[in-house]
Amino acid sequence: MKIKFLACAVLLALAGCQTPASQSVVDSQQPPSSAVRREYVEALRGTIKAGNFVKAEISSVVLLNPKKQIYAYCTRTTERAYPNWSYIGLGLQHNMILYLKKNDYRCHDERLRYYDFPELRKMKY
């Protein structure tokens, strides 16, 4: 029992160590281009059930690492069967996906601007 409690305490402490995005990253926000929107929808086509989203939003694109030219953005969606927001964080370098992370903690930063994403909501097969 002590080991389980200690393990939970360690996990909670580590979860609290995730720092929010720096102000310079937040200041670099740019609305997502139509190309970013289109490519995201194309990447998901065939992997999810089209027309399943009730709400869909896409965040601003931010510059995470100026030296390496790593950009990132997030999407958040609600589905008919799951009405709470689901978040996905995506990192790009030279127009190639570096990572795709479900429930990326950075997507919850209140300073990040989100925009309606009708292209994803209306996605066809």
Quick check: is 93 in a domain? yes
Is residue 37 situated within a structural domain?
Answer: yes
Checking if the pLDDT of 9 tops 50, the result is no
pTM: 0.78
Structural domain includes residue 68: yes
Domain that holds residue 67: 22-121
Q: 3 in a domain, yes or no?
A: no
Query: What is the secondary structure of 76-121 as a DSSP string?
Result: EEEESS--S-EEEEEEEETTEEEEEEET-GGGG-TTS-EEE-HHHH
Can you say how many angstroms the Cα of residue 89 is from the centroid of all Cα atoms in its chain?
3
Residue % of the chain over a pLDDT of 70: 80
Sign of CA pseudo-dihedral 107, 113, 58, 53: positive
Rg of the chain over Cα atoms, rounded to whole angstroms, equals 16
C-alpha atoms less than 13 angstroms from C-alpha of 59 in its C-beta half-sphere: 26
Q: What is the pLDDT of residue 20?
A: 56
Structure confidence at residue 125 (pLDDT): 66
**Pair 111, 26: CB distance under 8 Å:** yes
Q: What is the pLDDT of residues 56-84, one digit of tens each?
A: 999 999 998 999 999 999 999 998 888 89
Count the domains in the chain. Answer: 1
